[in-house]
Structure 1
Amino acid sequence: MIFRYFERLIDYFRAGSGDMPPSGVGRFYLHYLRQVWPSLTALLLVGLVVALIEVALFSFLGRLIDLAQASTSGSEFFREHRDELIWMAVVALLLRPLFNGVHDLLVHQTISPGLSTLVRWQNHSYVLRQSLGFFQNDFAGRIAQRIMQTGNALRDSAVQAIDSLWHVVVYVVSSLVLFAEADWRLMLPLLIWVIGYAVALSYFVPRVKQRSVVASEARSKLMGRIVDGYTNIATLKLFAHTNHEQGYAREALQEQTEKSQRVGRVVTAMDFTITAMNGLLIAATTGLALWLWSQGAISVGAIALATSLVIRINGMAEWIMWVVNGIFENIGTVQDGLRTIAQPHTVLDRADAPPLRVSRGEVRFENVHFHYGKGSGVIEGLDLHIRPGEKIGLIGPSGAGKSTLVNLLLRLYDLEQGRILIDGQDIAEVAQESLRAQIGMVTQDTSLLHRSIRDNLLYGKPGASEAELWEAARKARADSFIPQLSDAQGRRGLDARVGERGVKLSGGQRQRIAIARVLLKDAPILILDEATSALDSEVESAIQESLETLMQGKTVIAIAHRLSTIARMDRLVVLDQGRIVESGSHGELLEHGGLYTRLWQHQTGGFVGVE
């Protein structure tokens, strides 16, 4: 089918280069438009033909009037001008629909869906590889909005610019030529109008652009606040702050409205100016044409041609004005999106980075320094050797650096000094994806994807069989509640959707799904970051056996504030202010009488019953 042919002209899932998109607006446009240059060139050429046909129709109108006046009878008129009339009919009935149809196919089947999808796909692919810090510093909803809007804005402004270019050039140039053929004096009002139109646009357009950028920033701020409220709706309701949240959003909405109104002021002034100029053009051209006809300088057909053309130019000028306004509003949206999209990756793989190979699971931290860019604090000169298959517990007060150490092992951030080795391989020298593929992790704040239970489990092992899924669920003690799950669409069991971040499940249920997912992954290195924190004592006791099964044959790093859950680890490492202050078994550390002893006594004195 013809639709399918045009829909396939752009490969919108073409892989990007992986480099940061250009940060300049012009280079950003060029970066994406040159990837679809054949389709844009075709649109440009077809647009030229469409504009020429439109002008030809007005020329035919004047010609028909002159021919009709010169003919003595209707039969003589059709006999003498048959070929010319047939040609006019071919242009109006065949060529005009044909080229307009091709134009619409290029716009609606090729460029509109294809270009916007290409921009979104490549930007999403690039942003998805940003570091964890990138996403922690912005609203997820605002990032998504900018990726979606940037694709549409770039596409719309490119198509509008191409369409308006030919209409301006072809109509003005063709009109001047046709007017000159009738009488050179007919050109004067149009020439004066063109100069005035150019001056008006040069004055108003930069102001529209400037204010559109500001309005786009205000719109992004508003979106960020609204998304933040929706994302944390439970907190909002628990603290009974609906009115406070309304005020928070109202402030941003007021700012966005005022910024949009400032754009509207310029647009209104531009509209009034152009409309007044257009009225002068129509009156001047029609009056001059009538005067020239009264002097016998032009024919009645020339009056019809001149009047119809300037009326058409009038409509076109107002359309161009709105197009230009739309173009620069879209450019403002693209410019706003660049602030998010065109950011360099902070955690990069080498061009030739090999995959990590783990045969034993030995982990070494050598003189590790990391400060989150603060200059000092967090991790200071840390050295730690974890033997293959050893199970260690990381202990320390809040802010001691436990979770940071895990994030550095996962290379969610790059070290500021030192190195981390796995089986003798520097993790900064291997591919990030291969590193994380060799590490299984159950976190304290378990976040599930808003997909089915099955999809969440398959993250641990894509392609796992139904039997493997249920076996992992059984080991994680999740098989008891999964069959009872259902969602609003009636899907049940493994097919039930879990809601955003897994909100439809209890904390314990989310944790057990996460544990089942890691069981499926079966990575040689295992990290448990408060892995049983969301479980009640009975469930925690029931799942402890599964965790011990999960840990067999693996190198394990466990973080827990409930010290009783990791007291049986091979070795306990106590951190304080980014340094290792104690290391040894549970019994050895209690005998030492240091920080671990104080933490243990604090918990056993009031929170944990211990024999």
Structure 2
Amino acid sequence: MHLPHTPSAFLWRYVKLFRGQFICLVAFMLIWALNESLFPYFLKLFVEGVTHVDPAGSLWENFKFPIVGITVCWLTMEIAMRLSGVISYYLYPAFRAKMREDTFDWVKDQSVDYFSSNLAGSIGAKIADIPKSSHQIIDHFIWYVIAIFFVFVSSIVVVAQASFVFTALITLWCATHMGITFYYLEEVQSKSSDHYESIATLNGETVDIINNASSMKFFSRVGFETQRIKTFQATEIKKSKSATWAIQKVDFFRGFAALCFMLTTISLLLKGWKDGWLSVGDFPLVAMTSFNLLGLIWHMSMTLVDIFQDIGILRGSLSLLRHEHSVQDKPTALEISVPYGEIEFKNVVFGYRKNMPLFSGLSVRIKALEKVGLVGFSGSGKTTFVNLILRAFDIGSGEILIDGQNIANVTQASLREHVTLIPQDTNLFHRSVKENLTYGNLNATDEEIEAAARKAHCHGFIQKLENGYDTVVGERGLKLSGGQRQRLAIARAFLKNTPILLLDEATSALDSETEKDIQVSLLELMANKTTLIVAHRLSTLKHMDRILVFDKGQIIEEGSQKELLKKGGHFAHLWSLQHEGFLPDKE
């Protein structure tokens, strides 16, 4: 799915999807506009009737045309307005929902790197602003631009029956008013867009601070964060003042033009009545139409500023769609089949930065059902190796094969359905324990959930929670300890039960006693699976069939723990550097 990233193309895409409803709205709006322009004409007929009709005659016969005209116009307008309300009731929620769904689908398919490089609060605010601003732009354009333009055109036709002088005057004032509006429109739009970006940044920084509230408090940095927010707030205030001043400047010149128009209209009305080239009926027709248009055109121009402000907001929000997906399924991608779980890297070249490869021609084969440990100092390539199996990033060249299938040629969804990752830092959803566990298997029964929790040694603490398995764990699971979150992640892996299992420091947050209990469960979890374990605690690798030793993106040693220790190479050196069982980050 491709989404346009310019406001006009984006809006047109969704207007076309609901074109039937929008055509009806425009039609009903035109009925309202026609009523606005005809009402002064019927008032003219009343006034002229009063001045020329004999009071002793039949009032119905003398005034039936304007009475019937006003009644029919009013009833037609009321029916049209009520029907437009019903259409809007059903149209706009669906219109916004479709935009929100498509935008969310686009964003969620971004790479892991995208989400780590952008503030979650800013992304969320932009996703919310796209349907909101789009709704306002379309609704305002229909009711305050198209409708009022039609009122203007039809009113000019009506006023021309009285005098072309007023037709010319109204047209001249309208052209002046709209000329001023469009002259300053680019400035208003630009400054409004800048203001929106400052708001999005401020919101993102605020959410980031709230997400790290415990760090802020425990490091005693409340004052520091207050000053930091004030910096972003000051930028937002400055941008707000700049945008507001641009609008006020436009209003000043439009207000002056409106004053000139009113004084000129009143002068000409009086002169026309005095000189006799305006009838008594023309007087209210011209006056009412002129002052009605004055209010409507002024309102339209103000709404145009609002529309372009919303276009600025929409343009800023659509920046989400300008970031193409760095990892995409090929049009010919197939679903992967993983009957065995063999993994092979063939001459893989990969780097996070151009011309700075981490892996340069990396080749290694991991047999089906093999248990392999990955060790090395931080930055040596262990976690990157694991992430590439999940296709979190695309490689520069070479191949990564699973059961002989190049993962670049299969769908990402099917690939990840066959691989389970237990990361070092487990973030949970702000949902119940049960909902977080069933993320591994949406169809799991209560019995299966409890069995997985028991295997992961978390059933006991879950039962002690306020609402057991229905307890909400808080944002990112922060109501639970790191060890508890890690055990839930392991239980979730039991429920997913895939042929390939990846553990990235999966027991790092556990105490020694709990880890000892978990190791038994992990051995059960690893049974009949191809398993890769990234570990800093080298003693946890004693059950591995093979250990790959990474250093600066290369596999420099491999073998069993016993073989590598006997060899006395890099692994033996790492072993000697351990402190209380843990490997230091660097030598």
Q: Common fold, TM-score beyond 0.5? A: yes
The within-5 A match list for 1:262-273 is 262-273=242-253
Amino acid at match of 1:568: H
Match of 2:232 in 1: 252
Amino acid at match of 1:349: D
The 2-side partners of 1:607 and 1:465 are apart by 38
SS at match of 1:41: helix
The 1-side partners of 2:450 and 2:412 are apart by 30
Instruction: Say which of 1, 5, 12 aligns to 1:30.
Output: 12
Unaligned runs of 5+ in 1: 1-17, 487-491
Deviations 1:411-437, CA, capped at 9 Å, x for gaps: 010111111111111111111111111
Q: Is the 8 A contact 1:39 1:110 kept in 2?
A: no
- Say whether 1:102 aligns with 2:83: yes
- Say whether 1:598 aligns with 2:579: no
Match of 2:542 in 1: 567
- Say whether 1:469 aligns with 2:437: no
Instruction: Say which of 486, 508, 522 aligns to 1:547.
Output: 522
Moved over 3 A (4+): 604-608
- Say whether 1:322 aligns with 2:322: no
The 1-side partners of 2:534 and 2:581 are apart by 21
The 2-side partners of 1:303 and 1:110 are apart by 44
- Say whether 1:290 aligns with 2:265: no
Match of 1:138 in 2: 118
Unaligned runs of 5+ in 2: none
Amino acid at match of 1:583: E
Match of 2:28 in 1: 46
Q: TM-score, structure 2 length as denominator?
A: 0.96
Deviations 1:129-174, CA, capped at 9 Å, x for gaps: 1111111110011111101101111221122112223333223222
Q: Is the 8 A contact 2:327 2:394 kept in 1?
A: yes
The 2-side partners of 1:74 and 1:187 are apart by 37
CA drift of 1:545 comes to 0.9
CA drift of 1:91 comes to 2.1
Deviations 1:372-431, CA, capped at 9 Å, x for gaps: 133224222211111111100000000000000000000010111111111111111111
CA drift of 1:336 comes to 0.6
The within-5 A match list for 1:345-364 is 345-364=325-344
The 2-side partners of 1:357 and 1:551 are apart by 20
Match of 1:5 in 2: none
Q: Is the 8 A contact 1:349 1:429 kept in 2?
A: yes
CA drift of 1:302 comes to 1.1
Q: Is the 8 A contact 2:473 2:480 kept in 1?
A: yes
CA drift of 1:121 comes to 0.9
Instruction: Say which of 38, 43, 54 aligns to 1:72.
Output: 54
Q: Is the 8 A contact 2:538 2:582 kept in 1?
A: no
Going from structure 1 to structure 2, the CA distance change for 1:74 and 1:600 (only over 3 Å counts) comes to farther
Deviations 1:102-148, CA, capped at 9 Å, x for gaps: 233333x1343222221111010111111111111100111111011
The 2-side partners of 1:248 and 1:28 are apart by 36
Deviates more, 1:262-271 or 1:518-527: 262-271
SS at match of 1:398: coil
Match of 1:582 in 2: 557
CA drift of 1:606 comes to 7.4
Instruction: Say which of 461, 476, 479 aligns to 1:504.
Output: 479
The 2-side partners of 1:546 and 1:74 are apart by 105
Match of 1:529 in 2: 504
Deviates more, 1:416-425 or 1:187-196: 187-196
The 1-side partners of 2:23 and 2:122 are apart by 34
SS at match of 2:15: helix
Instruction: Say which of 136, 149, 161 aligns to 2:141.
Output: 161
Deviations 1:67-122, CA, capped at 9 Å, x for gaps: 12222217622333335413322322x21211122233333x13432222211110
Deviates more, 1:232-241 or 1:70-79: 70-79
Q: Is the 8 A contact 1:286 1:303 kept in 2?
A: no
Amino acid at match of 1:31: R
Deviates more, 1:21-30 or 1:579-588: 21-30
Q: Is the 8 A contact 1:573 1:580 kept in 2?
A: yes
CA drift of 1:485 comes to 1.4
Q: Is the 8 A contact 1:450 1:501 kept in 2?
A: yes
Q: Is the 8 A contact 2:547 2:561 kept in 1?
A: yes
Q: Is the 8 A contact 2:434 2:469 kept in 1?
A: yes
The 2-side partners of 1:606 and 1:79 are apart by 106
The within-5 A match list for 1:482-521 is 482-486=462-466, 492-521=467-496
The 1-side partners of 2:459 and 2:545 are apart by 30
The within-5 A match list for 1:79-98 is 79-92=61-74, 94-98=75-79
Q: TM-score, structure 1 length as denominator?
A: 0.93
Amino acid at match of 2:149: V
SS at match of 1:480: helix
Q: Is the 8 A contact 2:536 2:582 kept in 1?
A: no
- Say whether 1:274 aligns with 2:254: yes
Match of 2:215 in 1: 235
Match of 1:6 in 2: none
Deviates more, 1:253-262 or 1:33-42: 33-42
Amino acid at match of 1:54: E
Q: Is the 8 A contact 2:429 2:475 kept in 1?
A: yes
Going from structure 1 to structure 2, the CA distance change for 1:27 and 1:607 (only over 3 Å counts) comes to closer
Amino acid at match of 1:213: S
The within-5 A match list for 1:279-428 is 279-428=259-408
SS at match of 2:360: strand
Two-structure CA RMSD over aligned residues (Å): 1.6
Match of 1:489 in 2: none
The 1-side partners of 2:335 and 2:182 are apart by 56
SS at match of 1:504: coil
Amino acid at match of 1:64: F
Deviations 1:502-530, CA, capped at 9 Å, x for gaps: 10111111111111100011101111111
SS at match of 1:190: helix
The 1-side partners of 2:147 and 2:307 are apart by 15
CA drift of 1:604 comes to 5.7
Going from structure 1 to structure 2, the CA distance change for 1:607 and 1:195 (only over 3 Å counts) comes to closer
Amino acid at match of 2:83: V
SS at match of 2:161: helix
CA drift of 1:185 comes to 2.0
Amino acid at match of 2:539: S
Deviations 1:547-579, CA, capped at 9 Å, x for gaps: 111111111000110111112211111000000
Q: Is the 8 A contact 1:271 1:321 kept in 2?
A: no
The 2-side partners of 1:373 and 1:606 are apart by 33
The 2-side partners of 1:606 and 1:359 are apart by 36
SS at match of 2:155: helix
SS at match of 2:374: strand
Match of 1:10 in 2: none
Deviates more, 1:275-284 or 1:501-510: 275-284
Deviations 1:470-510, CA, capped at 9 Å, x for gaps: 11111111110112212xxxxx1111111111101111111
Match of 2:130 in 1: 150
The 2-side partners of 1:407 and 1:392 are apart by 15
Deviates more, 1:236-245 or 1:574-583: 236-245
Deviations 1:179-204, CA, capped at 9 Å, x for gaps: 21012222232122022113212212
The 1-side partners of 2:95 and 2:52 are apart by 53
Q: Is the 8 A contact 2:202 2:233 kept in 1?
A: yes
